[in-house]
Amino acid sequence: MDTALPAAADPALGEVVVSRDEIAQRVANLGAEITADYEGRAPLLVGVLKGAFVFMADLSRAIDLPVECDFMAVSSYGAATKTSGVVRIVKDLDLDLTDRHVIVVEDIIDSGLTLQYLRRNLLARGPASLEVCALLLREGQQKGGELGLRYVGFSIPPEFVIGYGLDVGERYRNLPEVRVFRGTP
């Protein structure tokens, strides 16, 4: 028997950090920036699963250029709310990156360790260019090194958040906004 509470009554849902309307406006702005920056080129969007799938879907529609999409799945969290610091590729890309203009699409940047690993891995595949577009940057959590964040949606406080693709234990990805998680994983 399913004992899930309606979203409005779920005590694990904390305050809204980024609203649905704020997300929609910022995604439209990011799409316009990318369209201007990549005029005459067809960027390849590389979504980092699973968290970036909602953001990448909206972002790809906001870019007024031909785009291609591919996905990678990496793991550094498991079921925890803090990164383990160990990154592993769970699903690799299907497309060749050689001479392509690649934009890595991330849901959230915490420590930056996953992104540093991905950048090294993807740069070794010979793209013409490699940029990063992250919906969220958790303030004060990065552990040095160059992150190469060309496009950032929002800087947020260092709290664990859910919604708009972000989850805890595979739950809450479908929330239309980003909220603080107040429960236990």
Task: Tell whether 8 is covered by a domain.
Answer: no
Rounded Cα gap, residues 93 and 96, in angstroms: 8
Per-residue pLDDT reduced to its tens digit, 22-45: 999 999 999 999 999 999 999 999
pLDDT at 6: 56
Q: What is the CATH number of the domain that holds 81?
A: 3.40.50.2020
Catalytic residue among 58, 107, 110, 167: 110
Does residue 2 register a pLDDT over 50? no
DSSP per residue, 19-88: -HHHHHHHHHHHHHHHHHHTTTS--EEEEEETTTHHHHHHHHHH--S--EEEEEEEES-TTSSS--S--E
Task: Tell whether 104 is covered by a domain.
Answer: yes
Task: Tell whether 115 is covered by a domain.
Answer: yes
3-state SS class at 138: strand
**Averaged confidence pLDDT in the chain:** 89
Instruction: Determine whether 107 is an active site residue.
Output: no
From the CB of residue 97, how many other CB atoms can be counted at a distance below 10 Å? 19
With beta carbons less than 8 A apart as the criterion, state whether 178 and 162 touch: yes
Rounded Cα gap, residues 119 and 115, in angstroms: 6
From the CB of residue 172, how many other CB atoms can be counted at a distance below 10 Å? 22
Q: Give the H/E segment covering residue 109.
A: strand 101-109
Domains in the chain, number: 1
- The residue range of the domain holding 118 is 15-181
Task: Tell whether 156 is covered by a domain.
Answer: yes
pLDDT tier at 183, thresholds 50, 70, 90: confident
Task: Tell whether 4 is covered by a domain.
Answer: no
Task: Tell whether 76 is covered by a domain.
Answer: yes
pLDDT at 106: 95
